[in-house]
Amino acid sequence: MPAFNHVTLRTKRLLLRPFRETDAQAVFSMFTDHKFMEFVDSPPFGSVDEAHALVARDMKALASGERIRLGLERMGDGVLIGNCTLFNLDWNSKKAEIGYGLFGSEFGKGYMNEALASLLRYGFSVLDLNRIYAEIDPKNTNSAKSLDRIGFTKEGLLRENCIVNSVVSDSAIYGLLQSDWKNRDAIGVL
Ligand SMILES: CC(C)(COP(=O)(O)OP(=O)(O)OC[C@H]1O[C@@H](n2cnc3c(N)ncnc32)[C@H](O)[C@@H]1OP(=O)(O)O)[C@@H](O)C(=O)NCCC(=O)NCCS
């Protein structure tokens, strides 16, 4: 498995890079931001210690090649505005799941589209993944739009797939194949 701890990706406005120990306060703010957390199936962080623990876990996971979560650092001011992740990596089937989120204050500015394009390019071109998929709450219309916009296909619905705080919800499955991605790249959509 490759190690991911030195991976950094650049877009027009963002530097995608692993979280560092010094990001703990920003990570805490992220994981307590109401809009960021709205569809996350775990409670908001209770203290900054949980952010320190997340950064430590991420460092291990990057080094072992288990998962690649990158913080989105805005290049203009160096502020962390969100993150995106490739996880559940399955090298036999050459597939991975994608996750992402922004601070609510940063919605509607096109940042995630930039970040996802860059992470997907890395996943398909560098890691040679064949399939990248997302599982989202169908009520998460912003997330569905992000996936549609970048070329994912809605493939189906897992009925009553999640129970969070006694609330039962379905999961919509979206998939993007390397061949879909290359076709979009070839016709200049990306
Ligand atoms: C999912 C999520 C990242 C989508 O955020 P978003 O801001 O809608 O997505 P983008 O950053 O790509 O921005 C796209 C929007 O910015 C607009 N925009 C403004 N300036 C832009 C620019 N310079 N370039 C591109 N788009 C721009 C686009 O028109 C689009 O608006 P629209 O959706 O009204 O058409 C965000 O809602 C989120 O973080 N939610 C909480 C976490 C979450 O639910 N994650 C998914 C769980 S799997």
Helix (H) or strand (E) holding 167: strand 167-177
Q: What is the pTM of this model?
A: 0.96
φ and ψ at residue 63, rounded to 5 degrees: -65, -35
Indicate the top mutation candidate among 32, 37, 100, 176 to test ligand 1's pocket, ranked by most ligand atoms within 8 A of CB.
100
pLDDT tens track for 61-87: 999 999 999 999 999 999 999 999 999
Q: Which of 145, 149, 151 is nearest to 178 (CA)?
A: 151
The per-residue pLDDT of the chain, averaged, comes to 95
pLDDT of residue 9: 98
Structure tokens at 178: 């390397």
Does the beta carbon of 36 sit less than 6 angstroms from any atom of ligand 1?
Answer: yes
Q: Which CATH class is domain 9-186?
A: alpha beta
* R_g of the chain, CA atoms, integer Å: 16
The alpha carbon of 106 and the centre of ligand 1 are apart by a number of angstroms equal to: 8
Can you tell me the mean pLDDT for 106-122? Answer: 97
Residue 174: left if φ>0, alpha if ψ -120 to 50, beta else—which one? beta
One-letter amino acid for residue 45 of the chain: F
pLDDT of residue 126: 96
Does the beta carbon of 171 sit less than 6 angstroms from any atom of ligand 1?
Answer: no
Q: Give, in order, the Cα–Cα distances in Å from 110 to each of 48, 107, 113.
A: 29, 8, 5
The alpha carbon of 172 and the centre of ligand 1 are apart by a number of angstroms equal to: 18
pLDDT tens track for 37-66: 999 988 999 999 999 999 999 999 999 999
| Ligand 1 atom nearest residue 140's Cα | 44
Count of alpha carbons within 13 angstroms of residue 80, beta-carbon side: 21
Does the beta carbon of 130 sit less than 6 angstroms from any atom of ligand 1?
Answer: no
CB-count burial class (<10 Å; 0-12, 13-18, 19+) for 132: buried
pLDDT of residue 189: 65
SS3 label, residue 184: helix
Domain boundaries, given as residue ranges, for the chain: 9-186
